[in-house]
Amino acid sequence: MDGPGIAALTAQATVAGSADLDVTPALCVEAVSHAYGERRALVDVSLSVPRGGFVALLGLNGAGKTTLFSLVTRLFDTRHGRISVQGFDVSRHPSAALAELGVVFQARTLDLDITVRDNLLYHAALHGMGGQRARARAAAVLDDVGLADRARDKARVLSGGQMRRVEIARALVHEPSVLVLDEPTVGLDVASKASIVEQVRTQARTRGVAVLWATHLLDEIEPGDHVVVLHHGRVLAAGEMSEIVTATGATDLRAAFRSLTGAAVPAPDTAEDSA
Amino acid sequence: MSATIGTLDRARHRLTPSGYVICMRGVMWREALRFVHQRGRFIAALVRPLVWLVIFAAGWREVLGVSIMPPYHTYILYSTYVVPGLLAMIQFFYGMQSSLSMVYDREMGNMRVLLVSPFPRWFLLVSRLTASTVISVIQCYAFLVLAWLWGVDLPGTGWISVLPALILGGFMLGAMGMVLSSMVRQLENFAGVMNFVIFPMFFASSALYPLWQVQQASPILYQACLLNPFTYAVELCRFCLYSTLEPVSLAVVFGCTVVFTAAAILAYDPARGLMARRPRPGA
């Protein structure tokens, strides 16, 4: 697809998608660009996630997903464009924005030497939550992800899928409005993957948590999801899955992605669980 | 709009003074847990100075006499002379080890968990610094007990008067390690930094030899010792152990603590620091 065609599709899909969005998105990324020296990692990226919405950020490795996450979580500073969480500019009001943000990084970030519960309590403390309230929240979120019985186990003894579920529980312990997950199912088996996707979708559906889910795996995307296709740092298309498929004249999302990017999407990850 | 106001209230509620206390306590608690779970680190931290005290100092005590020099009022054994240097060494190594764990944390991602906390970045780093300083002070006191059991003569009041020097020294050396950790991209590179920083700083100081003897042996090395902040951490410990304040050492250690802490905060600042300029794997 040529350049103007891509631009037209992006504009069309964004407008179509925006009809469903709340007036104030929970997460809003506006015209964000980022470069590492001369290398441009993100170019004029815009997307938004409504309250209770599930938006899939679809892109191959190196597309710029992790850079975008680093900007959203303020590991990097946003120099061009604007990112806001619940209306709070991440650069100008980082404390308010980060207080509303739950993050699951691509790399495993649990402290393996301490218990599951202690990992959650540590995270709660980092958000100014302590005492009985923190303990109650830790118990509640562990129950949500089905790991209440593993609270006193050291994180080290958990399987890969269980670690991911603990990380999701940890990201939710301070009751964030927005949950961002950077390829959370990479390296997990099919059952663990399905369980994690479902648990996160449940949070969006029942608790109104806005979810930005970065992935390169098409099987994690459902027909009603909003999808943002990121390739080489640029948003090539955004909108509901069916809209993107229709606009590209493809038969399914895989073909649409290939049509947009000229690259094939990797087959679903079937790596074995670690324990 | 009401939801936004509610959110703002919630954020403010969490960043209250009690929230800051909870956060700092959490960081210290995690550092303490890590310390407890890694008993090998504690033992290694004690064995290292004990090797110097029991083997090195025993060998040198007959060769190297330490003449009367402040803060000592009489001739002292070499094993007594070397204790403040070994206290500073414990803190130096722990500061570096703590920084090593920061590089490890950054590689493994734990550091990111700390950095996405809503509390200000400077506060998070100072909390981390405080935690590592407390642990290093505990190690120093454990070493002092062992040194006393070994027969090293330590003044009774020195056990208390050395505490502020250990705290300040711990902050300075921890902050220096933090700056170094921000410059190191990978864990493997940190070993090189340890070799190029720890050993030169330790040996080019007054930890093992009095400065006047260093001056006689090599004027150039003497100048290097004077430029080395570790020398002043050692001297601050030495004088405080004898309940004497050495103003130059205090000023240098305090100044270096401020500069290194500011540099660490700057280095970890996403807007200006070194961290912002590096792509991450998969970015």
pLDDT tens for chain B, 283 residues long, are: 344 444 445 554 467 889 999 999 999 998 888 888 777 777 877 888 888 888 887 777 666 666 666 777 777 778 888 899 999 999 888 888 777 777 777 666 677 888 889 999 899 989 989 998 999 999 999 999 999 998 888 888 999 999 999 999 999 999 998 888 877 766 666 677 777 888 889 899 998 888 888 888 889 999 999 999 999 999 999 999 999 999 999 999 999 999 999 998 888 776 555 454 455 444 4
pLDDT at B2: 40
Q: What is the rounded CA–CA span in Å between residue B33 and residue B15?
A: 25
Q: Do the domain assignments include residue B283? A: no
- Structure confidence at residue A50 as a pLDDT band (50, 70, 90): very high
**A54-58/A210-215 β-pairing:** parallel
Which residue of chain B has the CA closest to A79? B271
| CA nearest neighbour of B54 among B93, B75, B82, B85 | B82
A129-159 burial code (b ≥16 CB/10 A, e <16): bbeeebeebbeebbebbebbebbeebbeebe
pLDDT band, very low/low/confident/very high, at A31 (cuts 50, 70, 90): very high
Gap between the Cα atoms of B44 and A203, Å rounded = 46
Cis ω on the peptide bond leading into residue B210 (within 30° of 0)? no
**Chain A neighbors of B109, CB-CB under 8 A:** 105, 107-109
Number of domains in chain B: 1
Please write the tens of the pLDDT for every residue from A92-133. Answer: 999 999 999 999 998 888 988 889 999 999 999 999 999 899
Please report the pLDDT score of residue A13 as a whole number: 38
Bridge partners of A104, per DSSP, are A181
pLDDT reported for residue B272: 54
Please give the pLDDT value at position A55.
95
Convert the pLDDT of each residue in A159-216 to its tens digit: 988 999 999 999 999 999 999 999 988 878 888 888 888 889 988 888 899 999 999 8
**3-state DSSP call for residue A45?**
strand
> A-contacting residues of B 95-114, CB under 8 Å?
108-110, 112-114
Q: Which of A64, A99, A124 sits opposite B118 (nearest CB)?
A: A99
Average of per-residue pLDDT values in chain A: 85
Cα–Cα distances (Å) from B278 to A47, B183, B272, in that order, read 24, 11, 12
Residue range A74-89: average pLDDT? 92
Chain B contacts in chain A segment 201-220 (CB below 8 A): none
Going by C-beta distance under 8 Å and a sequence separation of 6 or more, which residues neighbour residue B113?
A105, A109, A123, A126
Look at residues A142, A213, A212, A162 and name the one whose alpha carbon lies nearest to residue A183.
A213
Give the residue ranges of DSSP H helices in chain B.
2-14, 17-37, 39-51, 57-60, 78-108, 110-115, 121-149, 158-161, 163-183, 187-203, 211-217, 219-227, 229-241, 247-267
**Percent of chain A scoring above 90 in pLDDT:** 53
DSSP-H helix ranges across A60-182:
65-72, 94-99, 116-126, 131-144, 160-172
Residue B62's pLDDT is what? Answer: 63
Both structure tokens of A114: 């301490």
Q: According to the model, what pLDDT value does residue A12 have?
A: 37
Contact between chains at A107 and B109 (C-beta distance less than 8 A): yes
**Is-contact B240 B158, C-beta < 8 A?**
yes
pLDDT, position A137: 95
B29 belongs to a structural domain: yes
What is the side-by-side strand order in the sheet with A226-231? A101-104, A178-182, A210-215, A54-58, A226-231, A234-240
Q: Is residue A11 within a helix (H) or strand (E), and if so which, with residue range?
A: helix A3-18
CA dist., res. A256 & res. B170, Å (int): 58
Residue A74, judged by CB atoms within 10 A of its CB (0-12, 13-18, 19+), counts as buried
- Ordered by start, the domain boundaries in chain A are 3-100+177-261, 110-175
| Amino acid, single-letter form, for residue A38 | E
Task: Tell me the shortest Cα–Cα distance from A177 to chain B, in angstroms.
Answer: 9
**Chain B 26-55, residues with CB within 8 Å of chain A CB atoms:** 26-27, 29-30, 33-34, 37-38
B225 lies in a domain? yes
Distance CA B113, CA A46 (A): 25
Cβ–Cβ of B278/A36 closer than 8 Å?
yes
CA distances from B191 to A202, B186, B202 (A): 46, 10, 16
| pLDDT the model gives residue B4 | 44
Domain limits for position B14: 2-277
Do A64 and B116 count as a contact with CB atoms less than 8 A apart? no
pTM, full prediction? 0.81
- In this structure, are residues A58 and A227 in contact, taking their beta carbons and an 8 Å threshold? yes
Give a yes or no: residue B282 inside a domain.
no
**What are the φ/ψ torsions at residue B192 (nearest 5 degrees)?**
-60, -45
Domain spanning A3-100+177-261, CATH architecture: 3-Layer(aba) Sandwich (3.40)
Inter-axis angle of helices B163-183 and B229-241, to 10 degrees?
A: 160
| Nearest-10 Cα torsion for A181, A185, A191, A195 | 0
Residue A261 has pLDDT above 60, yes or no: yes
Reply yes or no on whether the pLDDT at A28 is more than 90: yes
